[in-house]
A and B are shown apart, each in its own frame.
Chain A
Amino acid sequence: MRNLIKLTTALSASAALVVGIFAVGGTLAQSQQAPQPQTKSADQTGQPAQTGLVQIGEVLDGQALFKTECSDCHFAYPANFLPSASWQAILSNLSDHFGEDASLDPDVASAIEGYLVTHSSNPAGLDVNNPPLRITGLSWFRRQHSEGEVGYMKRTRNVKTMSDCLACHVG
């Protein structure tokens, strides 16, 4: 069995891989080294801190929330696997999420959306009114996962769905 790529490090470390993913779509609109969302301390804004939620100062920490809230049912898919319009569409309809209710507190959902949008990859020529909702539906994904080895792994590892990245990859 070949050693499969480690999804998160491979993607954050390698812009080339991401360019490859969107080769059909053209150039990347956003840099992969997008800066972390700016956070302010409570002193700077004077606003009261919220309690009971993952936060930096009074600003909800979208990255930390993404990692905890988006990993209960599946792998927390890396942000740069989808364009920002896709993340916006997904985060605005969590109560009907691929046939399930995945609803979140609105403040939490918008903090997560902020993180995902900042770290998304936006190919030129994307139809922002009709963004893809699935990584597994993107053409690079289907190309990469059409070979015999994928089918073999699906059978031998009893993989239910291609959305279960960690059945075959290391997170």
Chain B
Amino acid sequence: MIKKALVLSALLAFSAVPAQADPRQDILDQLAVEASAADANFSGFSAARGEKLFRTKFGTGKPATPSCTSCHTESPRNVGETRAGKAIDPVAVSVNPSRFTDPAKVAKWFRRNCKSVIGRECTALEKGDYITFMMTQ
């Protein structure tokens, strides 16, 4: 048992270092797999489409939250604010390098915020575009 565990961790130490070093890229890679499964013509994520998603006033979700900018403000580099008045750290990766690095957190907030703002879950394409936009900010 102990021996097995040691071998496993030795393997991880060698093989998994490049992948673990960039968890944001892992998340994007996974989204790209899902996006190409949904659309055979998928040819990569777009920061421009991500910016459009970020700024669009949808009006199809919950009335208090028409847009991502309702809480994250017009600039991803700004500190945002929840409806209950709590500060939200900037979402631009340049300002906040820990953004979009925890898969469970990313999944949870896309689910919630896309439902609140758009009234449905976001597609893998939309999620990848959004993260790609934030990486340019």
Q: Which residues of A contact B (CB under 8 A)?
A: 52, 72-75, 95, 98-104, 159-161, 163-164, 166-167
**Can you report 30 A-B residue pairs in the complex whose CB atoms are below 8 A from each other?**
A52-B104, A72-B86, A73-B82, A74-B82, A74-B84, A74-B86, A99-B62, A99-B65, A100-B64, A100-B83, A100-B112, A101-B111, A101-B113, A101-B115, A101-B116, A102-B112, A103-B112, A103-B115, A104-B108, A159-B85, A160-B81, A160-B84, A161-B83, A161-B85, A163-B84, A163-B85, A164-B84, A164-B86, A166-B86, A167-B85
> Which residue of chain A has its CB nearest to the CB of B117?
A101
- Neighbouring B residues of A74 by C-beta, 8 Å: 82, 84-86
- How distant is B5 from chain A, measured CB to nearest CB, in Å? 16
Q: Indicate with 1 or 0, residue by residue over B101-114, a CB within 8 angstroms of chain A CB atoms.
A: 00010001001110
Chain A interface SS verdict (over half): loop
Report the Cα distance A104→B105, complex, angstroms. 11
- Neighbouring B residues of A72 by C-beta, 8 Å: 82, 86
- How distant is A169 from chain B, measured CB to nearest CB, in Å? 13
Q: Is the CB of A101 within 8 A of B85?
A: no
Closest 6 CB pairs of A and B: A164-B85, A74-B84, A101-B115, A73-B82, A101-B112, A101-B116
> Which residue of chain A has its CB nearest to the CB of B119?
A101
Report the Cα distance A75→B115, complex, angstroms. 23
Q: B18 in the interface, Cβ–Cβ < 8 Å?
A: no
Report the Cα distance A98→B63, complex, angstroms. 11
- Neighbouring A residues of B86 by C-beta, 8 Å: 72-75, 164, 166
List the count of A-B residue pairs having beta carbons below 8 Å apart: 51
Q: Is the CB of B113 within 8 A of A73?
A: no
Contact among A100, A104, A160, A164 for B116, CB-based, below 8 A: A100
Contact among A95, A99, A166 for B64, CB-based, below 8 A: A99
Report the Cα distance A121→B86, complex, angstroms. 26
- Neighbouring A residues of B111 by C-beta, 8 Å: 101, 103
Report the Cα distance A104→B113, complex, angstroms. 12
For window 54-88 of B, CB contacts with A under 8 Å fall at 62-65, 81-86
Assuming the contacts A99-B64, A100-B64, A100-B65, asked whether A160 and B115 have C-beta atoms less than 8 A apart, the reply is: no
- Neighbouring B residues of A164 by C-beta, 8 Å: 84-86
Report the Cα distance A101→B115, complex, angstroms. 7
Report the Cα distance A160→B84, complex, angstroms. 7
Seed contacts A100-B112, A103-B111, A161-B83; 12 additional CB < 8 Å A-B pairs: A52-B104, A72-B82, A72-B86, A74-B84, A75-B86, A99-B65, A99-B83, A101-B111, A103-B112, A104-B108, A160-B81, A164-B84
- How distant is A126 from chain B, measured CB to nearest CB, in Å? 25
- Highest count of chain B CB atoms <10 Å: which of A72, A159, A167: A72
